[in-house]
Amino acid sequence: MSPVRIAALVVTLSLVAACGGNPAPVAPAATGGPGAASATPQPAVAKVIVGFSEIYEGALPMWYAQDKGIFAKNFVDADLRFTASSTGIAALLANEIQIFQGGGSETLAANAQGADLLLIGNLVPIYPYVFMTTPEVRSLQELKGKKVGVSSPGSTSDIATRVGLAREGLDPDKDVTIVAVGSSQNRTAALKAGSIQGGLDQPPFSYQLEAQGLHSLFDMASLKLPVVNNGLVVQRSYATANRAVVQRYVDSLVQSIAALRKDKAGAIAVLKKQLQVDDEQILSKTYDYVMQIFPSLPYPRADQLADSVRVLGATNEKVKSYEVSRMLDESFVKNAADRGLDK
């Protein structure tokens, strides 16, 4: 045995004796596994101000991600702010918010006028509405000549109302008077008060209206018509400069939808808190209703904007000629899909 090896053996035996006959444990080298988190540099937590246009069941993935710490686990500090659909795009363009969750028609109209916004996801890709009427209006024929409420002209609810009425055989420009009443909450209140006789609503509020004697004339969700009802919208410049942050936000929502499918009780608790509804049976029905709407992977698609192009383009040549593909970016959702975050 060489002198070097003999010296090493002596040192080793001395250490064993000093430790009571057992050699001191050696920490394993970092391998990238669960125990190696401290060896991997963690990204800085990013503050993101998110405007959302409706307080409704379609916002559940966002609320759930906040409530269950999914945003936090992805190093996102999401400041969620209600921002009415009529002001959301303006707030985004003014950099008051970094992400807007709202209707695709508003985004399309802004881009047609020269904005450079990207639609990077769509949490609600079909119309999630039920068309409600006041107690005295029990049929579509009885709706003729009455007032129908929408959020604002050109909004997703306006387009949905026109599409739904036309499919049911009514001319929205001749058979009814369309009135802008503001948010979906305002629509519900106006239906209750009778200041409008018809309008789109959604669970759980539509269930409450039915219990109060109002009527559901048709369910648009059952038609599975494509739309951008809860799109994820950012400025292109923000997405370019903050790609990792935007990716972590999208990741959080994809993970949230996957978790929601396995956690009805947790979802109901979040809906109860956010929508201020206490009826567990109604909330259970609302969960069942909306979970048929959320896609596992919320890709934005061109066909989801077809109704917006058709309706808005009828009076706006810039919308009619706008190339929708310019505003779509599927890469964030695809990145999440490639990593299996929807499982």
pTM, entire model:
0.84
- Pairing verdict, β 99-102 and 231-235: antiparallel
User: CB–CB of 332/300 below 8 Å?
Assistant: no
Residues 106-115 have pLDDT tens digits of 999 999 999 9
Residues 80 and 146 in one domain: no
Residues 235-286 have pLDDT tens digits of 999 999 999 999 999 999 999 999 999 999 999 999 999 999 999 999 999 9
Residues in the chain: 343
User: Residue 85: what pLDDT?
Assistant: 81
Domain count, the chain: 2
DSSP 8-class letter at 117: E
Band (pLDDT 50/70/90 cuts) for residue 22 is very low
Give the domain range for residue 193.
130-223
Q: Is residue 272 part of a domain?
A: yes
Calculate the alpha carbon distances from 51 to 48, 96, 225, 262, 308 in Å. 10, 9, 25, 27, 21
Say which CATH number the domain at 77 has. 3.40.190.10
If you average pLDDT over residues 321-343, what whole number do you get? 98
Residues 124-168 have pLDDT tens digits of 999 999 999 999 999 999 999 999 999 889 888 899 999 999 999
| Domain termination site, one of 196, 223, 250 | 223
| Domain termination site, one of 191, 223, 255 | 223
* Bridge partner list, 101: 52, 232
